[in-house]
Amino acid sequence: MSFTPFVGFHLVLCLGVSKITKQNNIASALGTLAGNPWTFPFIWYLVFHTGIFILGQDAPEQEVDFRLLFRELFHCVINLDFSRFWIDIWPVFYPMLIGCIPLYVIVWQVMYHMIKHVLKEEACGKEKDKMIMGLGCDIVQVSRFAKGEMFLLKFIKKYFTHNEIKELEQKNIYQDTESLTLAVATRFSAKEAVSKALGSGFRGGITLKDVEIVHDSLGCPQVNLYGKALARAYYVSKNQNMKVHLTISNEREYVNAVAVLESL
């Protein structure tokens, strides 16, 4: 829009076109920054003489005072007084209107492909930075934990974190031994899968409490690492930011969990 002779209305026109074509308003508005007090004189001169060339007209003997021209144009539009428009403004405005078209197309094509290339390279760079550093899978037979309520309560107290216990309490699972058995087996399988994704299992000082399995508001499992499990994760990811992805499947007899350690 900065190449059009509608000085003073570039931003308004830009946002209007952006809305019609359903493009990003912020990106479109930033594009108008190509026209500024440092570049406008060059743009006006180039657009005007391009239009003169296309129309086959002779260049004026005196240089055009673009500032005065656009000041008069602005007052014409604001005051709705076009009595001097066709005499003083149109002879210069029309060539600029014609001359901006090829320049607009050329600049748009160049900028589009440049930005597309930059964004593509950045996207590729981000994808290259992301790597799967570890994969773990575990399956547990639920009946292994069907040893009564006392066993389950002792197991939970010894190997579950405060947040895991709090989550079980909020779901009122303690009132149903069968549901509690499945919940314990599910979390144990998930912890085992995560430990395998770390490439260590529960060795080197890593305990079940170092791997926390909780759920978000949608019920998706979330993994939090503590102590030596967290240190191991940073070692495997070479001190990069990382995330553990976890998926769990269960039914009455078996529980299966798969964990993926990804560097970000």
All domains in the chain, ordered by first residue:
10-129 (no CATH), 131-263 (3.90.470.20)
Count of helix runs (H) and strand runs (E) in the chain: 9, 5
Structural tokens at position 22: 């359903």
pLDDT of residue 11: 65
Region for residue 152 given its phi and psi (left: phi exceeds 0; alpha: psi -120 to 50; beta: otherwise): alpha
94-127 residues labelled b (16+ CB within 10 A) or e (exposed): ebbbbbbeebeeebeeeeeeeeeeeeeeeeeeee
Share of the chain above pLDDT 70, in %: 82
Alpha-carbon distance 258 to 247, whole Å? 5
**Contact yes or no for 25/18 (Cβ under 8 A):** yes
Structural tokens at position 137: 């899978």
pLDDT of residue 259: 97
For tokens 């066709």, the residue is 86
pLDDT of residue 238: 84
Query: Which residue stretches of the chain have pLDDT < 70?
Result: 1-11, 13-14, 17-18, 21, 23-39, 61-62, 123-130
pLDDT of residue 165: 95
pLDDT in tens, 162-194: 999 999 998 888 888 999 999 999 999 999 999
pLDDT in tens, 117-135: 777 777 665 555 568 899 9
pLDDT of residue 47: 83
